[in-house]
Amino acid sequence: MPGVDTPASAATVFDLDGLAALVTALKSKGYRVIGPRVADDAVVYDDIDDVRDLPAGIGDEQAGGRYRLRKRGDSAVFGYTVSPQGWKRHLFPPRQKLFAARRSATGFEVLPPDPAPPPFAFIGVRACELAAMAVQAKVFGDKDYADPGYQGRLKDAFVVAVECGEAGDLCFCASMGTGPAVKAGYDVKLVELAGKDGPRFIATAGTARGEKMLGKLKAAKAADGDLKAAADRVAKAAKKMGRKMETATSARLKEFSEHPRWDQVAARCMTCGNCTMVCPTCFCTTVEDVTDLKGDNAERWRMWDSCFSVEFSYIHGGPIRSEARSRYRQWITHKLSTWFDQFGTAGCVGCGRCIAWCPVGIDITEEVAAIHESLKGRK
Ligand code: SF4
Ligand code: SF4
């Protein structure tokens, strides 16, 4: 991941051809370019060949338990809110081989690791998603339990961020302090402006390599009017957030382990774990060993897991969190409260994915608001 709080260079402006040239330049440098595209009636972050793969004219509608694509009526290529899939699945794959071993004359030998894949270039990373990468960088950068694979993928990734010009109905990054303005952690930052001949992009470099990459493009210096339009768009998005988190109360959740609200939410929660799968900061895993039938070859795999599964809290004698109440409480209290004790930050960046992809529409901001209301008048 690019450095933090790097000084921004002078802004330039280019059109879709300029963005195409950026994608080509990244590919010629050996990057595997990942960007938004439509698949399975959703915007997903996957390999793109060129800008024709981007979701031109596509927006989305999100509500509790609901996600639909819609036509925007313009040709914006970054006109959706956030993809159901975060960039997490590229940096922290859902299934990853940790090592392989084979039987030898003297026992077992551990095989050399698979060759490193090419570095990623991510196109279209939102402010809340950069914040999520920074959160996971802390999780996987822990001095005692560092994950060099994650750290390497993040360090090598070239990040093209896109500032949000519109907030979604489920967004609450403004109250979490993670967006919508992109402030750090990018190589190149774009703001998309609608134009009668198609979108234009105000581009700013955040790192030396971003500056070098932008230098390869035929781009004009951005006019004052364009800079003002770009700043106005993000300011407007900040004012139109669909949700708000009561952060003073959310940070105190660990004090309310016996609150009656946990029973109410448990009556609705199906403990399906969807919220943890779509969350860009959740990091729980399990480990599985597999062997061939003869027992000559063995592999150890790490896979995403969820604190909503009964097995996840299994220790000698049984699971610690056998009820839905305790599993939901664990998830939300860790995310919003005890995560500070562990990592010095919240584990929520306000993207709203867990609300859209909860089959019964449980809303993390609503759950905190209910506890917040119940505290009024109490010391
Ligand atoms: S808890 Fe929900 S809103 Fe917060 S980062 Fe995770 S998915 Fe996004
Ligand atoms: S809160 Fe919603 S998405 Fe999360 S486990 Fe419960 S039912 Fe599933």
Residues 49 and 153 in one domain: yes
Cβ(353) to ligand 1 under 6 A? Answer: yes
Would you state the structure tokens that stand for residue 318, as one six-digit string?
Answer: 């049984």
Q: Is residue 102 part of a domain?
A: no
Q: What is the pLDDT of residues 4-32, one digit of tens each?
A: 444 456 899 999 999 999 999 999 999 99
What is the C-alpha to C-alpha distance for residues 186 and 182, in angstroms, rounded to an integer?
8
CA dist 212 and 29 (Å) reads: 12
What is the dihedral sign for C-alpha 79, 80, 82, 88? negative
Q: Name the closest ligand to CA 171.
A: 1
Q: Does some domain include residue 153?
A: yes
Residue 319 lies in a domain: yes
Q: Are 64 and 23 within one domain?
A: yes
Q: What are phi and psi of 27, to 5 degrees?
A: -65, -40
Tell whether 219 and 333 lie within a shared domain: no
Burial (CB < 10 A; 0-12, 13-18, 19+), residue 39, is exposed
Is the pLDDT at 281 greater than 70? The verdict is yes
Q: Cβ atoms within 10 A of the Cβ of 302, count?
A: 18
Dihedral through CA 211, CA 217, CA 219, CA 221, nearest 10?
Answer: 20
Radius of gyration of the chain (CA): 22
- In a shared domain, residues 83 and 194: yes
The number of domains in the chain is 2
Considering the domain boundaries, does residue 101 fall inside one?
no
131 in a structural domain? yes
> What residue numbers bound the domain in which 175 lies?
12-96+117-239
Residue 134's pLDDT band, with cuts at 50, 70 and 90, is very high
Cα 354 to ligand 1 centre (Å) = 5
Q: Do both 167 and 43 map to the same domain?
A: yes
Q: Let me know if residue 193 belongs to a domain.
A: yes
Higher pLDDT, 87 or 116: 87
Which H or E element spans position 363?
Answer: none
Tell me, yes or no, whether 109 lies in a domain: no
Domain shared by 259 and 222, yes or no: no
Domain membership flag for residue 269: yes
- Residues 69, 218 within the same domain: yes
Q: Which two tokens stand for residue 343?
A: 């990592």
Query: Domain check: are 207 and 178 in the same one?
Result: yes
Last residue within a domain, chosen from 186, 219, 239? 239
354 close to ligand 1 (CB < 6 Angstrom):
yes
Q: Poorest-confidence range of 6-10, 73-77, 355-359, 362-366?
A: 6-10
- pLDDT per residue as tens digits for the range 257-280: 999 999 999 999 999 999 999 999
180 prior amide bond cis, ω within 30: yes
**Atom 5 in ligand 2: residue holding the nearest Cα:** 271
Last residue of a domain, one of 187, 212, 239: 239
Same domain for 30 and 154, yes or no, is yes
Q: For the whole prediction, is pTM greater than 0.85?
A: yes
Q: How far apart are CA 57 and CA 244, in angstroms?
A: 28
The verdict on 158 and 34 lying in the same domain is: yes
Q: Is the CB of 368 under 6 A from ligand 1?
A: no
Q: Which ligand is nearest to the CA of 364?
A: 1
> For residue 116, what pLDDT is reported?
86
Q: Categorize the per-residue pLDDT at 379 as very low, low, confident or very high, splitting at 50, 70 and 90.
A: low
- The CA-atom distances, in angstroms, between 318 and each of 79, 306, 315, 321 are 47, 17, 6, 9
Nearest protein CA to atom 6 of ligand 2, as residue: 269
Residue of 134, 194, 191 whose CA lies nearest to 161: 191
Whether residues 69 and 157 share a domain: the answer is yes
Task: List, for residues 195-233, the tens digit of each pLDDT value.
Answer: 778 999 999 999 999 999 999 998 899 999 999 999 999
Q: DSSP string of 286-302?
A: EEEEEE-TTSSEEEEEE
For residues 6 and 207, what is the distance between their CA atoms, to the nearest angstrom? 6
| Domain stops at, among 186, 208, 239 | 239
For residue 128, the ligand 1 atom closest to its alpha carbon is 5
343 and 266 within one domain:
yes
Nearest CA to ligand 1 atom 5: 348
Question: Which residues form the pocket of ligand 2, taking CB atoms under 6 Å from any ligand atom?
Answer: 269-275, 308, 358-360, 362
